[in-house]
Structure 1
Amino acid sequence: MIQVSTRDVVEKFNLAVISGEEGIGRYITTSDISRPGLEMAGYFTHYPANRVQLIGKTELSFFEMLPQDVKIERMLKLCSEDTPAIVVSHNMEAPQELIDASNQNHVPVLLTPMKTTRFSSRLTNFLESKLAPQTAVHGVLVDVYGIGVLITGKSGVGKSETALELIKKGHRLVADDCVEIRQEAENLLIGSPPPLLEHLLEIRGIGIIDIITLFGASAVRPYKRITLNIELETWDPEKTYDRLGLDEEKMKIIDTDITKLTIPVRPGRNVSVIIEVAAMNYRLKKLGVNAAQEFSRRLDEMVSLHDEMDDY
């Protein structure tokens, strides 16, 4: 299970630890944030204890209206053994009852100067990114005309060499050899390189080259959304390849399907140009322009016209 610790959140957002320091290593397993308004009112039947609890002005103003014994009881319930952290926004002073309960149950109480809604949004985005399902794919990820193209294929087919030619033409490298992919939302795949291989490219016969050193910082990017997969394979004369593009193949990564194209490789074929055209054609299809369907329509009209002439 992918996990993020409370310490990671403290370091990311530069939060102050008010109390409950012993629980700073607790793990956060969900990106959902809870505003414990109902819990302040005493309703704990469906208390989402495993979420980060975010307390703002509304919750604290209501809390101040409660009797002292009720305050203590509510805060002890709020600081459960499963609660990863309680965050107080606006740099407001944490109630003493909350501090005492957090120290007793080792639940960290954190303080942020941000507004409640803004912090909730930023924390949710951070947790969704860190807790997203992840996998790794052997291939090369390149940004071609704004399209994240994942180039796959057997070892030695020329993936890295093709990526190098694309970089020379002004496109940007994201990852070579190993692409780490996380699904941050439905139908949203983000690819990035492992830290060890960042902005490095391996070319057989030359070795490992640093793309930033050779082509500058504009030739790389740290991550990119993956929308198109191009699989390179050695030309097989016995195999029938798609010549119209009417049939769309899909590649499934985690829970997301992306468009897949198979490009046969043989001497004389400029694969980098083909990938550039594939990326531009993919963009056109998204804009509603499909050359293959238009050709099929024209062909059907011509066949219909000939049939009508034969009838005469």
Structure 2
Amino acid sequence: MVKVRMKDVMEKFNLELVSGEEGIHRPITTSDISRPGLEMAGFFTYYPAERLQLLGKTEMSFFHGLTDEQKGERMAKLCTDDTPGIVLSRDMEVPEELVKSSKANDVPILRSPMTTTRLSSRLTNYLESQLAPNTAIHGVLVDIYGVGVLITGSSGVGKSETALELVKRGHRLVADDSVEIRQEAENTLVGSAPELIQHLLEIRGLGIINVMTLFGAGAIRNYKKISLVMNLELWDSKKVYDRLGLEEEYMKIIDSNVPRLVVPVRPGRNLAIIIEVAAMNFRLKNMGMNAAKQFSERLTREIEDGDEHDSI
């Protein structure tokens, strides 16, 4: 499935289409940007034709020093069937040789008033975001004290009701029911809601509610980095649950491992407060303050001291 086309880049950055309109729907398959400096000098052995090509002041200054024959040859080789498009920065004039090659091979030529470095940075960030590996998970994503908490569990366990209580307590909803997740970098997962259900919560017996309309713009977020997974499951009396918090469990999403806690659900347990405290405790652990580990160390010291007294 094609995620990004040249038309998307043109509209996103308000680029001027100079030539090659027939190729404006060409797909972009990699977030890497190429600045064809060596190619301008005639070295095309390792030309990354599948990348978006960016021509800046340096490349064009060198180009203008070539002979007419060399100019035509270099631009013809630059515009291939695999090249998604060529972008010129600083509103520079597009050479006739490039326009001719563009029309011959339907390679779109775009122009931007931005400086080359700034344009390269913005294009790379945009393409990395759009082309990042992605998946969708059934759950609820809430921003709690700056921690992105993904609440998972079987249907009907109370995920949406818990999210509603968290929103009432001042936290922010990102997505309900379906969470779209993309991996923007190593161990960096960003979750968002599908456009169709953005800002909406489904509560059984009540129906669909618009969180932004009811609680205001401060009650929602469009996206959030996922830092913690809270899995809700119905209480099983035969199962032994972690009571100290020393055991570390992870959930693998795409290529990242996210810390995961299992919370048993039964009448009388306030899940919203439990998840809220879990998020605060997660922040403390990241600051180096682990209450469970400190308790375990104190307990070990007490046992060792007791053994020493007994041996005396």
Q: Decide: shared fold, TM above 0.5.
A: yes
Equivalent residue, structure 2, for 1:136: 136
Equivalences for residues 92-107 of structure 1 within 5 A: 92-107=92-107
Equivalent residue, structure 2, for 1:186: 186
Across the aligned residues of Structure 1 and Structure 2, the Cα RMSD in angstroms comes to 0.7
Unaligned runs of 5+ residues in structure 1 are none
Equivalences for residues 229-268 of structure 1 within 5 A: 229-268=229-268
Equivalent residue, structure 1, for 2:283: 283
Q: Residue 100 of structure 2 aligns to which amino acid in structure 1?
A: D
Matched position secondary structure for 1:28: coil
Alpha carbons 1:19, 1:109 under 8 Å: kept = yes
Moved segments of 4+, more than 2 Å: none
Q: Residue 117 of structure 1 aligns to which amino acid in structure 2?
A: T
Deviations 1:68-111 (A, max 9, x none): 10110000000011000000000000111111111111101100
Equivalent residue, structure 1, for 2:21: 21
Equivalent residue, structure 2, for 1:156: 156
Deviations 1:284-307 (A, max 9, x none): 000111011101110111011011
Identity of aligned residues (%): 66
In the alignment of these two chains, the number of paired residues is 312
Q: Residue 42 of structure 1 aligns to which amino acid in structure 2?
A: G
Alpha carbons 1:2, 1:131 under 8 Å: kept = no
Q: CA deviation at 1:20?
A: 1.0
Q: CA deviation at 1:185?
A: 1.1
Q: CA deviation at 1:213?
A: 1.2
State how far apart, in whole Å, the 2-side matches of 1:196 and 1:22 are: 32
Q: CA deviation at 1:2?
A: 4.5
Task: Using structure 2 for the length normalisation, give the TM-score.
Answer: 0.99
Task: Using structure 1 for the length normalisation, give the TM-score.
Answer: 0.99
Equivalent residue, structure 1, for 2:271: 271
Equivalences for residues 21-60 of structure 1 within 5 A: 21-60=21-60
Deviations 1:250-308 (A, max 9, x none): 00000010000000011111110000100000000001110111011101110110111
Alpha carbons 2:21, 2:106 under 8 Å: kept = yes
Deviations 1:144-190 (A, max 9, x none): 00000000001111000000000000000000000011111111111
Q: Residue 32 of structure 1 aligns to which amino acid in structure 2?
A: D
Equivalent residue, structure 1, for 2:165: 165
State how far apart, in whole Å, the 1-side matches of 2:138 and 2:258 are: 16
Unaligned runs of 5+ residues in structure 2 are none
Equivalences for residues 112-131 of structure 1 within 5 A: 112-131=112-131
Deviations 1:207-258 (A, max 9, x none): 1111111111110111110010000011111100001111110000000100
